[in-house]
């Protein structure tokens, strides 16, 4: 699946990812009202991944429903709409509009690492998290994924609370809080100063999160964080992921990365004598 945040605004960019072999796509996070996002620079490249602080730029669901309808008319894979809000009522309203326009599922972003009063401020507080999920579940009939932050003491506890509140799947993980400083200016590089790290450096963190969550809950886990090739994807599945999302690797490998990963997984299954991916999900937990 395409991870939220990359190439996820328009039907055309989503289609380009499907052409590259993605089996499902997730949009950029959409809220109730338009949001401009932070001042540039919003992305910085490090030697182990990207740090971004976009600041949730989006046109708001009122406008974005047209893009959802357009995407549904051209895409032949499931469309997941990522959603954020500042209250449970906002999350529910956006979810309802997204599903009304054709979303096949919603992914609740309760894990943006740096936007105040939404994102991880909700995901790090089990009481708020439960309220958001219960309200969204009561408002839509489509599956509700919940995307969690690694910036917590126990992601398994958060996943457990999410599943008890009705989450149909857990996406793990959003980016890891990070900062880059320029030695010449002696200042942080990003406009927002603090951002979220994605890419290769986050893979072992995501692996541990998936592993911990798999030990606690019984809903599908969608692994996200540093997947760039089939071996990464297989390792995520062995840790407990039923599916994987790819984002940052599109910047380094191109959209064809999805096809390479899918083919590589199939070849691995064949070589090892497995009939399908279900046979490897969580295999690393066997003693």
Cα gap 78→102, rounded to integer Å: 10
Is the distance from CB of 5 to CB of 54 less than 8 angstroms? yes
User: Which strands sit side by side in the sheet containing 169-172, from one edge to the other?
Assistant: 25-26, 79-83, 105-109, 144-148, 169-172, 221-224, 241-245
CB of 82 to ligand RRO, least distance (A): 8
Residues 194-223, interacting with ligand RRO (CB under 6 A): 196
Query: Vertex 92, ends 87 and 98: CA angle to 5°?
Result: 130
In whole angstroms, how close is the CB of 270 to ligand RRO at the nearest point?
36
Rounded Cα–Cα distance for residues 60 and 63 (Å): 6
- Within 140-248, residue ranges assigned H as helices are 155-164, 203-216, 230-239
Question: Of 54 and 265, which has the nearer Cβ to ligand RRO?
Answer: 54
CB nearer to ligand RRO: give 38 or 230: 38
Q: Locate all alpha helices (DSSP H) within the chain, ordered by sequence.
A: 11-19, 61-74, 88-101, 120-123, 126-139, 155-164, 203-216, 230-239, 249-253, 257-272
Binding residues for ligand RRO, total number by CB under 6 A: 15
Per the structure block, which two tokens stand in for 19? 């052409």
User: For residues 56 and 93, which CB has a smaller minimum distance to ligand RRO in the complex?
Assistant: 56
Subset of residues 73 to 112 that bind ligand RRO, contact rule: CB under 6 A? 109, 111-112
Closest by Cα among 148, 152, 160, 167 to 95: 167
- Phi and psi at 11, nearest 5°, equal -60, -35
Between 91 and 230, CB nearer to ligand RRO: 91
Interaction with ligand RRO in 25-64: which residues (CB under 6 A)? 29, 52-56
To the nearest whole angstrom, how small is the minimum distance from the Cβ of residue 50 to ligand RRO?
9
112 is catalytic: yes
Nearer to ligand RRO, 57 or 264 (CB): 57
Q: Point out the catalytic residue in the list 48, 112, 209, 224.
A: 112
The minimum distance between CB 184 and ligand RRO, in angstroms, equals: 25
Q: How far apart, in whole angstroms, are the C-alpha atoms of residue 225 and residue 218?
A: 21
Positions in 137-196 near ligand RRO (CB under 6 A): 174-175, 196
Report the nearest approach of ligand RRO to the CB of residue 195 (Å).
Answer: 7
Q: Just list the catalytic residues.
A: 112
Give the residues lining the site for ligand RRO (CB under 6 A): 5, 29, 52-56, 109, 111-113, 119, 174-175, 196
């Amino acid at each position: 699946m395409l991870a939220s945040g990359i190439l996820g605004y328009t039907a055309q960019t989503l289609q380009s990812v499907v052409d590259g072999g993605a089996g499902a796509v997730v949009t950029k996070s959409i809220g109730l009202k338009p949001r401009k996002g932070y001042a540039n620079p919003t992305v910085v490249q490090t030697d182990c991944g990207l740090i971004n602080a976009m600041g949730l730029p989006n046109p708001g669901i009122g406008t974005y429903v047209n893009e959802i309808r357009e995407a549904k008319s051209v895409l032949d894979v499931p469309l997941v709409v990522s959603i954020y809000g500042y209250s449970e009522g906002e999350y529910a309203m956006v979810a309802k509009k997204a599903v009304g326009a054709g979303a096949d599922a919603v992914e609740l972003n309760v894990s943006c690492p740096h936007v105040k009063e939404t994102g991880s401020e909700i995901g790090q507080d089990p009481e708020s998290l439960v309220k958001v999920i219960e309200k969204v579940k009561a408002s839509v009939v489509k599956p509700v994924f919940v995307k969690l932050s690694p910036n917590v003491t126990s992601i398994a506890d958060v996943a457990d609370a999410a599943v008890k509140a009705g989450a149909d799947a857990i996406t793990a993980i959003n980016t890891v809080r990070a900062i880059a400083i320029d030695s010449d200016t002696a200042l942080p590089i990003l406009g927002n100063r603090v951002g979220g790290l994605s890419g290769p450096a986050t893979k072992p963190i995501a692996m541990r999160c998936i592993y911990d969550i798999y030990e606690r809950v019984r809903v599908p886990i969608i692994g996200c964080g540093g997947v760039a090739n089939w071996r990464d994807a297989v390792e995520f599945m062995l840790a407990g992921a039923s599916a994987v999302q790819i984002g940052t690797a599109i910047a380094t490998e191109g959209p064809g990365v999805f096809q390479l990963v899918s083919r590589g997984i199939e070849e691995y299954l064949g070589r090892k004598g497995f009939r399908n991916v279900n046979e490897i999900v969580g295999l690393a937990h066997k003693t």
